[in-house]
Chain A
Amino acid sequence: MQRSFLLTSLGITLALGSYASSAQANTEIAWWHAMGGALGDKVEQIAADFNASQDTYTVKPVFKGNYSETMTSAIAAFRADKGPDIVQIYEVGTATMMAAKGAIVPVYQLMKSADVEFDPQAYLPAVTGYYTDPDGNMLSLPFNSSTPVTYYNRKLLEQAGVEEVPRTWQALGDALEKVVDSGTASCGLTTTWPSWVMLENYSAINDVPFASQANGFEGTDARLQFNRTAAVDHIERLTQWQEDGRFAYGGRFDDAAPKFYSGECALMMGSSASYANINENADFDFDVAPLPYDADVVDKSNNSIIGGASLWVFDGLDDTHQQGVAEFFEYLSSPEVQADWHQYSGYLPITQAAADLTRKQGFYADHPGTDVAIKQITAGEPTDNSKGLRLGNMVQIRDVINGELEDIFSGDAGAQEGLDEAVSRGNALLEKFESAHQ
């Protein structure tokens, strides 16, 4: 008995020893991400391809749940000194990460010290703007960025006699009236991610401020302003549409999507990255159109802003790990990898080269509508109102906004009243963030 125990433990020790030596030759890089399902498979594949392309590093992706779970567990792990090398953080967590000086290594610095070629100009400005500090340095690597677009049910619009999705909210109102009055569909339009689409992107596209200080880019003393802009009229318009059936609120996140899949609603505004899902779930012909602009406010559409996530690197890695992360980032940003990711997922190509490559491969011609998002996000030079949002506690602020929107659409509060409340509760969160980061 004793003897066999000794032998077993000897065997285990030997096995561990050989494992350790092979691990020495091959540095393991932990990548925590929030991509479930098919996207998660793709992440695994990207890592496997990178691992096969060289034999110094092994990137190991670990699925950590949804965005907020991933962020929470990464922060908890960091506090326990067991953080991953790379973590995927959603765009509303950006301000929190940026403020955590001493916890992260900025990507530009990482690439420089690892001596890996890195040209910030190669990335799309509307994407990198989000993740760049006031001095123009990129702090995290954009990975999956999307922007909202309009999906429409072609058959329903034809039946209602609507030729194409109008470019302005005003004309869209008339078109939706036709859809509902003709009885083609019981609901004209629904939206996923209500705050992101109907307030954050509405403000960017129509060049009105969402918050002061260039939406927070110029300081943590930014305060919300959407209760004093055309956004109030827009929410008021949606409230009226909610009453006459032209709009139907379908819940937070992606909860509204079944309303579109089932043909209840003829139009849906949602993330460009929903393309694959809609393709799978809709048994009708659908098409993609840009988000409309408000003809009462502007003459032409500004660029829309992004959502999605970027990759952050934790501080405290040794040189070998840093080198590995840098080389992986270089691989990840290559046009081939990016173009493949873009075509597979519907996320935006983050570099111009990837977009060009996709066009050259004929993907946009074969899949009409997939280039709407990229056209929309590159429409003109981003202004102070359309660079993006950089607001602390944005996760909670979005919760507050969604809650107030629900009160407005259910008739419990007026548009002005509800948005005032959202602003004052949101500003309390901004003040808290400001005082914690002085």
Chain B
Amino acid sequence: MSAPFQRHRLTPWILMAPQLGIVLVFFFWPALQAIEQAFYVEDAFGLSREFAGLANFKAVLSDATYYQALGTTLVFSLAVAFGAMSIALLLAVMADRVIRGARIYRTLLVWPYAVAPAVAGVLWLFLFDPTLGLISGLLGDVGIDWDHKLNGAQALALVIMASVWKQMSYNFVFFLAALQALPKSLLEAAAIDRAGPWRRFWTITFPLLSPTAFFLLVMNSVYAFFETFGTIDTVTSGGPGGATTTLVYKVYQDGFVGQDMGSSAAQSVLLMALVGGLTWFQFRYVERKVQY
């Protein structure tokens, strides 16, 4: 593999240049600016700027609402990653067995991915609106009083459902592709040895899916931490009482609504470190269990 490239030292760089350029401009540059901003106190208009050392970080880390948001984020991310992956796996296994009309099922299951997060949020909001919602009305009939505008646990459940629904399709595509790439001979051999479907799944299919599952775990964690912003914004705006304010939503609220750039930048630096650390942890420890 490496032999041809040793004679062309420049070629790989030229080939990578467009992607590197994009990453530099849209990730490294803003990230460096955020790191710089985190050490300054500045008014909204940028008229006065003062070096503040670690004051922004200290303020963030001594703020009780930051820890509330951290807790919410952990619960939210775990629930979204686990929910989106397990449901997607179940659906993929079932869709893999369907023979008649398989294409239709697959297409329908992939569709939600094409829905923008904000639109997904609004769809779920309509279903669960305490006054007008279809599902909240049905829940009311069976004696469950649904009011996510006051009940924090219900609000969190609602944004989790909306985020899971949206991410499920992405996972489904990967699981289905992985399932179809499994060597059929292994499963057939096991079936001849009288291993039931349940046993075949857990001892053969599931371990063989582990590279895909690991990849999806990383992607889903990143999704839950960063990309669920639109869903949360449209469904609950972080409420009630901060019950659905995740770390990334707090960055937005403090920075864009509150115009507190220093604190917002400090929070993004902390968030970057947190997600970076988590990804490192996943590669260091979880990946060991993966069988390629």
Question: Which residues on A are within 8 Å of B, measured CB to CB?
Answer: 68, 71-72, 75, 78-79, 96, 99-103, 249-252, 255, 258-259, 262, 264, 393, 395-396, 399, 402-404, 406-407, 409-410, 412, 425, 429, 432, 436-437
Contact = CB atoms under 8 A, between A and B. Distances in A.
B257 A68 contact: yes
Interface of B: 41, 43-48, 65, 129-132, 149-152, 237, 239-242, 253-254, 256-260
Nearest to A435: B41
A395 B257 contact: yes
Given A404-B241, A410-B150, A410-B152, A78 B45 contact: yes
Contacts of A429: 258
A310 to B, nearest CB: 17
A96 B150 contact: no
7 contacts: A68-B256, A75-B259, A100-B43, A102-B47, A262-B131, A412-B152, A425-B65
Given A100-B44, A102-B47, A251-B149, A406 B239 contact: yes
Contacts, number: 83
A68 B252 CA distance: 12
Contacts of B258: 393, 395-396, 399, 429
Contacts of A71: 259
Contacts of B237: 252
Contacts of A406: 149-150, 152, 239-241
B132 A262 contact: yes
B46 A96 contact: no
Contacts of A68: 256-257
Contact of A410 (B41, B47, B240, B260): B240
A255 B240 CA distance: 13
Contacts of B132: 258, 262
A99 B45 CA distance: 10
A264 B65 CA distance: 34
Most A Cβ at <10 Å: residue of B48, B132, B240: B240
Contacts of A409: 150
B241 A407 contact: yes
Contacts of A410: 150-152, 240-241
B150 A79 contact: no
Contacts of A259: 131
Given A96-B259, A425-B65, A403 B239 contact: yes
Contact of B241 (A72, A75, A102, A412): A412
Nearest to B255: A72
Given A249-B149, A406-B240, A79 B253 contact: no
Nearest to A393: B258
A100 B47 contact: yes
A258 B129 contact: yes
A399 B45 contact: no
A302 to B, nearest CB: 30
Contacts of B48: 436
Most A Cβ at <10 Å: residue of B44, B129, B242, B256: B44
Contacts of A404: 241
A272 to B, nearest CB: 23
Closest 3 CB pairs of A and B: A406-B240, A251-B149, A396-B258
A258 B131 contact: yes
Contact of B131 (A79, A264, A395, A399): A264
A437 B258 CA distance: 15
A149 B221 CA distance: 46
Given A404-B241, A410-B240, A436-B48, 15 more contacts: A71-B259, A72-B257, A75-B259, A79-B45, A100-B43, A102-B47, A249-B149, A264-B131, A395-B258, A395-B259, A406-B149, A406-B150, A407-B240, A410-B150, A410-B151
